[in-house]
């Protein structure tokens, strides 16, 4: 059974420059077919290296972790196929990716994103975010008791 090759692709459309960012995708390729999985990372032209991934940025480590998480998610799917002795297909892959994108609510996603960027915010702001999150989860925000 064949399984896909994985690699990061930066600036597939050659739009990056020193003033304009371009996205980084995870390319899943098998038998002349491919899918580009968005990673959520956008970089300027001089901030990407094929071996080290993100470079020349103060947040390079966290962006590289983000890229690794996307790679690990796809690898987890491929390993599950291998363990089940199933072959890879892009139809299965598409179903899997749609399922992982829709896990949780928008609020969960939003607060997870804020948590992952905690160091960028001041402590008072983080406290307000946690208060808002707990109010949403308790349902107070939806009935207008702010």
- Band (pLDDT 50/70/90 cuts) for residue 146 is very low
Structure confidence by residue, pLDDT tens digits, 9-32: 998 889 999 999 999 999 999 999
32 is a domain residue: yes
Domain match, 63 and 120 both: no
In a domain, 145, yes or no: no
Claim to verify: residue 82 and residue 126 sit in the same structural domain? no
Domain check: are 57 and 111 in the same one? no
Is 110 found in the same domain as 84?
Answer: no
Assess whether 48 and 111 both reside in one domain.
no
pLDDT in tens, 73-120: 999 999 999 999 999 999 999 888 887 555 556 666 666 666 666 666
Instruction: Please count the structural domains in the chain.
Output: 2
Quote the pTM value: 0.64
Is residue 87 domain-shared with residue 119, that is, in the same domain? no
Same domain, 50 and 96: yes
**65, 9: one domain:** yes
- In this structure, the answer to whether residues 69 and 97 fall within a common structural domain is yes
* Residue 48: φ, ψ to 5°: -130, 140
On whether residue 74 sits in a domain, the answer given is yes
* Residue ranges making up the domain that contains 129: 104-140
Q: Which long-range contacts (CB under 8 A, 24 or more apart) does 87-95 make?
A: 87/1, 87/2, 88/1, 88/2, 88/3, 88/4, 88/30, 90/28, 90/30, 90/33, 90/35, 93/4, 93/28, 93/35, 94/35
Task: Tell me: do 48 and 74 sit in the same domain.
Answer: yes
Domain for residue 33, yes or no? yes
Distance of CA 139 to the CA centre of its chain: 28
């Amino acid at each position: 059974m064949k399984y896909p090759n994985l690699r990061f692709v930066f600036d597939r459309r050659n739009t990056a420059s020193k003033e304009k960012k371009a996205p980084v995708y995870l390319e899943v390729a098998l038998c002349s077919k491919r899918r580009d999985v968005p990673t959520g990372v956008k970089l300027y032209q001089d901030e990407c290296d094929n071996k080290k991934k993100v470079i020349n940025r103060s947040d390079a480590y966290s962006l590289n972790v983000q890229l690794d998480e996307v790679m690990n998610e796809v690898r987890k799917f491929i390993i599950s196929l291998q363990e089940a002795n199933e072959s890879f297909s892009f139809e299965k892959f598409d179903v899997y990716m749609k399922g992982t994108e829709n896990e949780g609510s928008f609020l969960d996603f939003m607060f997870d994103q804020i948590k992952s960027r905690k160091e960028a915010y001041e402590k008072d702001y983080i406290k307000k975010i946690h208060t808002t999150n707990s109010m949403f989860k308790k349902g107070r925000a939806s009935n207008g008791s702010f």
